Amino acid sequence: MSASRLIRAAILPDYDQPIEVTTVTLDAPQHGEVLVRLVAAGVCHSDGHVVTGHLPLPTPIVLGHEGAGVVEEVGIGVTHLRPGDRVMVSWIPACGHCWWCVNGQPELCEQANTSAVTGERPDGSTRLHWHGAPLYPFSSAGTWAEAAVVPATSVVPIPDQLPYAEAALLGCAVQTGVGAALRSPLRPGDTVAVIGCGGVGLNIIQGSRIRGASTILAVDPSAENRELALIMGAHHAINPSQEDALTAILDLTADRGVDVAFEAVGQPELIALAFAAARRGGTAIAVGVPTPNATVSVNAFAFASQEKTLTGSWFGGSYAPRDVPRLIALWERQQLQLTSLIRRQYPLDAAGEALYQLLHHPAGRNLITFPSSPIPPDISEKGA
């Protein structure tokens, strides 16, 4: 087995501290693990939630939980990947044998979700070190780094024609958003509201379009996100800074409300808005990640008298080895847009700026890219 190596990574030393781009130690892949040299990594709102401490993951932490790159080394027991493979990297490496994995909900995998909270392997070790102490990757990924050692189930091969930048988005935003829509009770012809149109919300819109929704209403205060929402397939874009979102949704649905309302921000009052926006007998789905102690208040009478359902969706119910090939097939048939989701690209040294943009001017999906990688990035192909 090869030795550990020094890599550059963007780390958050502690909550509310500036990002530090520095040299850290990355262990060689162990049994069932893969070392991926990153070419592109996504900037997700969940990364911002770690910085503010709203998502209290252990620090110091290497942020980033979606990416794409090239396999450089595989650990013992990995038979479906080999060095040189082009791959995407995801963030819930389902173990395949816990109760939830066996019973068809791999997104709730006990081992993967525990590792996300502890930042450790199941045996308690860490893959990264800084100043001789443990350094934790965001949800067994940590893609804001030149390379990452990840469980092989987080890694899915991608075809040559899929550029790394687009492939990176499959790791979190696309699986979460499209999966939430495809696994919802949404039926062809239904009406949909999507509250919050960032990386995940835009993909809920895409999933709803793919599923055959007749009317998709997008709600977001950002003009850039509303414009993107229309490109992704929304029929109306509502600016909640200028008009009451619930009134607008009712006006556009003959005062009934929508069949399915999605919340993609993680704010309790917006989850309550989704519940209110669902028609009698309709469904509201919380997809955004709230802070751990947040509680949501909804009208209890509506549960019984209006037969409403309020439910959650974690990671879109996705399992990367199963769902990423399906999403790539949709992209190949031009049913799934990836390139138009991408806004800005930052070098690793500008990771702090990428976070600032995320927190203050969120729009579409931004990326960290690695032009210094010895493997030539092919993001110039992104018009493909």
**Contact string 98-127 vs Zn ion (x = CB under 5 A):** x--x-------x------------------
Q: Pick between residue 163 and residue 198 the one whose CB is nearest to Zn ion.
A: 198
DSSP line for 30-71: -TTEEEEEEEEEEE-HHHHHHHTTSS---SSEE----EEEEE
Q: Pick between residue 46 and residue 206 the one whose CB is nearest to Zn ion.
A: 46
Q: Pick between residue 49 and residue 279 the one whose CB is nearest to Zn ion.
A: 49
Q: Smallest distance, Å, CB 94 to Zn ion?
A: 5
Q: Smallest distance, Å, CB 177 to Zn ion?
A: 10
- Eight-class DSSP state of 8: E
Do 196 and 219 contact (CB within 8 A), yes or no? Answer: yes
Task: Give the burial string for 110-125 (b: 16+ CB within 10 Å, else e).
Answer: ebbbebbeebbbeeee
Helix (H, G, I), strand (E, B) or coil at 100: helix
The rounded distance, in Å, linking the Cα atoms of 182 and 295 is 26
Q: Pick between residue 44 and residue 219 the one whose CB is nearest to Zn ion.
A: 44
Do 272 and 296 contact (CB within 8 A), yes or no? Answer: yes
Residues 39-98 touching Zn ion, rule: CB under 5 A, are: 44, 46, 94-95, 98
Count residues contacting Zn ion (CB under 5 A)? 8
Segment interacting with Zn ion (CB under 5 A) among 37-45, 201-209, 238-246, 336-344:
37-45
Q: Pick between residue 15 and residue 314 the one whose CB is nearest to Zn ion.
A: 314
User: Which residues lie closer than 8 Å to 371 by C-beta, 6 or more apart?
Assistant: 347, 377
Q: Pick between residue 44 and residue 348 the one whose CB is nearest to Zn ion.
A: 44
Look up residue 192 and give its two tokens: 């949909």
77, with CB counted inside 10 A (0-12, 13-18, 19+), is: exposed
Do 24 and 9 contact (CB within 8 A), yes or no? Answer: yes
The candidate with the shortest Cα–Cα distance to 200, out of 26, 329, 316, is 316
Q: Pick between residue 180 and residue 249 the one whose CB is nearest to Zn ion.
A: 180
Q: Smallest distance, Å, CB 238 to Zn ion?
A: 24
Q: Pick between residue 35 and residue 50 the one whose CB is nearest to Zn ion.
A: 50
Q: Smallest distance, Å, CB 173 to Zn ion?
A: 6
Q: Smallest distance, Å, CB 229 to Zn ion?
A: 18
Segment interacting with Zn ion (CB under 5 A) among 28-36, 169-177, 301-309, 330-338:
169-177
User: Which residues lie closer than 8 Å to 120 by C-beta, 6 or more apart?
Assistant: 126, 134, 136
Q: Pick between residue 95 and residue 328 the one whose CB is nearest to Zn ion.
A: 95
DSSP line for 276-294: HHEEEEEEEEE-S---TT-
Q: Smallest distance, Å, CB 369 to Zn ion?
A: 17
Residues 300-319 touching Zn ion, rule: CB under 5 A, are: none
The rounded distance, in Å, linking the Cα atoms of 252 and 231 is 19
The candidate with the shortest Cα–Cα distance to 285, out of 125, 138, 177, is 177
Q: Smallest distance, Å, CB 27 to Zn ion?
A: 23
Q: Which of 172, 272, 273, 284 binds Zn ion (CB under 5 A)?
A: 172
> Applying CB under 5 A, does 260 fall inside the site for Zn ion?
no
- Eight-class DSSP state of 259: E
Q: Smallest distance, Å, CB 172 to Zn ion?
A: 3
Q: Smallest distance, Å, CB 195 to Zn ion?
A: 17
The residues of the shown chain that bind Zn ion, judged by CB under 5 A, are 44, 46, 94-95, 98, 101, 109, 172
